[in-house]
Chain A
Amino acid sequence: MTATSSIRALGLWKYFGHFAALRGLDLDLAEGRFLTIFGPNGAGKTTLIKVLSTQIGASEGSVLVGGVDLAKDAGAVRRRIGVISHNTYLYPQLTAYENLAFYGKMYGVGDLRDRALTLLEEVGLVGRMEDRVATYSRGMQQRLSIARALLHEPDIMFLDEPYTGLDQHASRMLRDVLATLHTGCRTIILTTHSIEQGLEMCDEVAIQVKGRMVYRQPIGAVDRTTFEQTYFDYVGKEFRWDS
């Protein structure tokens, strides 16, 4: 473990029945680093994010997030992490402000009104904060979801396919938010299918296939053409194995 490890997973296995979604996966990510994980469908990317973010427990292996053992104090980890997924975790019958107020109370956020208004301003929804989320477009809901995830000022962010279903405006906004988060020295793990969006601002890049990390490099050492070839080699092999 490096002295500044923010996330460290060792020998992670996750079974769903007899199916192993994670197969002895190891991961070590230093504080303030931005790691993008690529991989085909069924590679276990979402499972990895769910395990690291305490949403599900690992079947075997250990995870330290911010130096805290998930098995011992998941609550302490939850206070430090923010999760943005393709699901927004927003209540459609509540307004944007009510959603943020609800999650803010659950996280014990101080000066909640000011914090919520600041975030709503940042994601460009302050003008519609009294409207029910059910009336929002997919892009607007995802922008609000970003505000929800940042409400308690987490220093570790997990983003699981956050670009799914977003229009260009919302994608650009998400990229801006990610850039701001990254300059703020947060540790970030992003999973995505999009090479374009994934390579944009990360420090390290990895490929996950069949529940294992099969490739990991600092972004400086990655040549895009070679990486694309490597990516499709792994994904291609994966398809050939299955067939």
Chain B
Amino acid sequence: MGLLSRAWTIAQKDIVSELRTRETVISMLLFGFLVILIFNFGIEPGLREENLVMPGVLWAAFTFAGILGLNRSFTAEKENDCLQGLLLCPVDRSVIYLGKFIGNFVFTFIMGMFVFMFFSILYNVDIVSVLLPMTLIIILATVGFSSVGTLFSSVSVGLKARDVLLSILLFPVIVPVVLAAAKASSRVLDGKGLAAAGMWLGLLLVYDVIFLAISVMVFDYTVEE
């Protein structure tokens, strides 16, 4: 079995466990929906600046709900000390990182798409015309978010105040992802198309490549006791 197939084995294990408990995705979705709903109460319908506010609402919901999921990612590995079992396997630590990353990507992407659909309904977005470009933005943002998030989740899992620490560690680092995703979404939701969001998509892509590579390289040090 190669590196990627072993990583997929780890991700598959996480997905199967999640399908049985539905703890992570359901709580992420509920939290995301709530954030969008509460923002909706505060924004007057037909407000002139509504288009400026909308992408911020969407990505705030994505970020908060995403962190909820990341918090659970390595917590599940602590039960029965499964993380030690994983670390005892004769595979490179990067395989373990990639497996956890793929699992987090899947959960966060599903949450992102459902939150976007809920957002579209509440804010009267023509979902058909923006679905493809928004899916691309959500994919790129999810890769960046999950790559850094998986790394920091492994750092914070052994600590008592892990929920708080993960947020404190993660927010400053994912600012470029949230900023670029919100800016790109703003262009797309304004009907200007993907071409107008090119620079921001480029930024997301560069961020994804750099942080995924860095995370793979440093993961080994984060899981050492």
Contact = CB atoms under 8 A, between A and B. Distances in A.
Contacts of B20: 93, 132
A79 B88 CA distance: 9
B80 interface: yes
A90 B82 contact: yes
B84 to A, nearest CB: 6
Interface stretch (B9-17, B111-119, B129-137, B165-173): B9-17
B80 A93 contact: no
B42 interface: no
A143 B170 CA distance: 40
A90 B1 CA distance: 22
Contacts of A54: 87-88
Given A55-B88, A94-B13, A132-B20, A106 B6 contact: yes
Contacts of A56: 224-225
Interface string A84-106: 01011111111000100011011
A102 B86 CA distance: 10
A108 interface: yes
Q: In which size bucket is the chain A interface? A: 20 to 34
Contacts of B1: 105, 108
A105 B16 CA distance: 16
B17 A105 contact: no
Secondary structure at the B interface, as helix, strand, loop or mixed, is helix
Interface in A129-177: 132, 141, 148
A186 B181 CA distance: 56
13 contacts: A55-B88, A56-B225, A75-B90, A75-B92, A78-B89, A85-B81, A87-B84, A90-B80, A91-B13, A91-B17, A106-B89, A106-B90, A108-B1
A219 to B, nearest CB: 29
A232 interface: no
B6 A103 contact: no
B82 A89 contact: yes
A47 B85 CA distance: 16
A61 interface: no
B14 to A, nearest CB: 9
A98 B84 CA distance: 18
B49 interface: no
Nearest to A75: B90
A57 interface: yes
A141 B10 CA distance: 21
Contacts of B225: 50, 55-56
A107 B89 CA distance: 6
Contacts of B80: 87-92, 141
Nearest to B81: A87
A107 B95 CA distance: 13
Contact of A91 (B82, B84, B87): B82
Contacts of A90: 80, 82, 85
Contacts of A81: 88
Interface string A44-70: 000000100111110000000000000
A102 B79 CA distance: 16
Interface string B10-51: 100100110011000000000000000000000000000000
Contacts of A83: 88
Contacts of A141: 80
Contacts of B195: none
Contact of A78 (B6, B79, B81, B90): B90
B91 interface: yes
Given A91-B13, A91-B82, A148-B85, 20 more contacts: A56-B225, A57-B224, A75-B91, A76-B90, A78-B88, A78-B89, A78-B90, A89-B85, A89-B88, A91-B17, A91-B79, A91-B80, A92-B79, A93-B17, A93-B21, A94-B16, A105-B9, A106-B89, A107-B90, A132-B20
B9 A106 contact: yes
Contacts of B87: 54-55
Interface in B126-181: none
